[in-house]
Amino acid sequence: MHDMIRNTVATAALALLATSPLTHAMDNAPSATASALNARSTAPLAPSLLKADEYKETDVWGRIRSGYAIPDIDNSLVQRHTQAYSARPDSLKRISGRASPYLYHIVQELEKRGMPTELALLPVIESAFNPQALSTADAAGLWQFVPGTGKDYDLKQNMFKDERRGVLASTDAALSYLQRLYTMFGDWQLALAAYNWGEGNIQRIVKKNQALGKPTDFESLAELMPAETRNYVPKLQAVKNIIANPAQYNVALPAIDNQPYFTAIDKTSDIDVAVAAQLAEMSLDEFKALNPQFKKPVITGGEKTKILLPKANAEKFQLNLAQWGRELSSWTTHKITSARTSIAALASKFGTTPEVIRQANNIPAKSTVTAGSTILVPKVSASNAGDIAENIIDNAVVAFEAERSPRVKASTSRYKAKAATSSKNRIARNTSSKRKQR
């Protein structure tokens, strides 16, 4: 259990809400054990909740409202956050727009598990529905998983991808963790507080109140929680209130059709991100918005590799792929064996520019890669035609160090030469003086 509180770094997309202290995305992701992966909640559906295939709603927002099942709270913090969010309707509208590709899938998964559908709104608090959100504790994605928790939930994190950012994998992991917490506490509000602060901390304050004969519901325990957690559930309640009746708060939500936005395509061979977007007839930005887990310009193959595409684009992808007739990937890997390999030398070796090498490998300016690192490089011969090996995908690492400056070397050389000359002059003068003394 990693009990920690994370302060989300507001990215450009998250800056929409950054001006209000009440609307910072919370980003704590406590850890769990691997055994929790198969945990399933016994939480009842709301009385009015219909099965997914019985829905007559035409809009996902209506579907979410119909599945509200967490008891409401109404206190000064809820009122405060409701006012703060509703005071910025344009920001909520933009966040809702970012949520539109993902919400149907999240609601569908919640219903399959019999979970309250207002949990689909939790990424508003966690990440403002930005899959690229990253906290100071390195928590990433819509659901803000820290690396350790991600590994506990089998979210792959390697040089090529980070499934904490992937819509399918991270949603499955987040809902599994929330179910585990509900099973542990028997209360959704405490489960949410534990998601933010850590299950160990919630267990501790529950036991403390039990020993004192005090209530152990969320509001009775709130005064024992840090401010971030004390505000976490009220923030979700505030968003829930606004979604329940947006007109009352002067908020216009974008319509989201009650049908799948994307479909998953299995991809068993390497393919460049740019090629995949081209085949799907999508812009790079559109493609990356649905596939934010891929960190490199190439998507490596494998049995479990999936790319998400809108249905119409998926059909175009398959048609264009059948007619492609060329290499799908232009990248391979290269292991650095020398500690003195420069980026310029690597670029020359692989027929490209230093800028391409740096960009493909996220190499900082004025840095180079250390010996033992594996980097991505362009394919230069038929011998590189195959896919990147699975053992490389799983184990490749890269490390950087400051470049050795040629100017420093030259300066040092000049200094040494000057010092040597001065020394010779002193020796010559001393010798001359001694000769004169003789």
User: What CA–CA distance (Å, rounded) separates 426 from 278?
Assistant: 72
Tell me the CA distances in angstroms from 64 to 82, 106, 144, 243, 394, one per residue in order: 18, 10, 22, 9, 38
Backbone angles phi, psi at 226, to 5 degrees: -65, 160
Q: Any idea what DSSP says for residue 350?
A: T
Q: Is the pLDDT of residue 80 over 60?
A: yes
| Residues involved in catalysis | 126
Confidence (pLDDT) at 169? 97
Express each pLDDT in 223-264 by its tens digit.
999 999 999 999 999 999 999 999 999 999 999 999 999 999
User: What CA–CA distance (Å, rounded) separates 163 from 123?
Assistant: 16
Q: Is the pLDDT of residue 375 over 90?
A: yes
Q: What is the reported pTM?
A: 0.80
Confidence (pLDDT) at 406? 57
Give the percent of the chain with pLDDT over 70: 79
Strands 298-299 and 306-310: unpaired
Residue 433: partners with Cβ closer than 8 Å, 6 or more residues away: none
- Helix or strand run (H / E) with residue 308: strand 306-310
Q: Where are the domains of the chain?
A: 8-249, 270-322, 331-402
28 contacts 139 by C-beta, under 8 angstroms: yes
Strand residue runs (E) in 107-213: 134-135
pLDDT confidence band for 384 (50 / 70 / 90): confident
Tell me the CA distances in angstroms from 8 to 5, 126, 255, one per residue in order: 10, 8, 28
Mean pLDDT of the chain: 84
Confidence (pLDDT) at 426? 46
Q: CB-hemisphere CA count at 13 Å for 336?
A: 25
Express each pLDDT in 91-113 by its tens digit.
999 999 999 999 999 999 999 99
Confidence (pLDDT) at 407? 53
Mean pLDDT over 379-388 rounds to 83
Q: Is the pLDDT of residue 429 over 80?
A: no
Confidence (pLDDT) at 57? 72
Q: Is the pLDDT of residue 55 over 90?
A: no
Confidence (pLDDT) at 409? 43
Confidence (pLDDT) at 304? 81
Q: Is the pLDDT of residue 348 over 50?
A: yes
pLDDT confidence band for 41 (50 / 70 / 90): very low
User: What CA–CA distance (Å, rounded) separates 178 from 118?
Assistant: 13
Express each pLDDT in 175-200 by its tens digit.
999 999 999 999 999 999 999 999 99
Calculate the CA dihedral of residues 48, 53, 58, 60 and round it to 10 degrees: 70
Please calculate the CA angle 362-125-233 and round it to the nearest 5 degrees.
145
Confidence (pLDDT) at 381? 81
Give the percent of the chain with pLDDT over 90: 75
Higher pLDDT, 435 or 89: 89
Backbone angles phi, psi at 411, to 5 degrees: -60, -45
Express each pLDDT in 123-134 by its tens digit.
999 999 999 999
The closest alpha carbon to 155, from 174, 137, 136, 138, belongs to 174
Express each pLDDT in 279-325 by its tens digit.
999 999 999 999 999 999 999 987 789 999 999 999 999 999 999 99
| CATH code of the domain made up of 8-249 | 1.10.530.10
pLDDT confidence band for 90 (50 / 70 / 90): very high
Calculate the CA dihedral of residues 318, 319, 322, 325 and round it to 10 degrees: -110
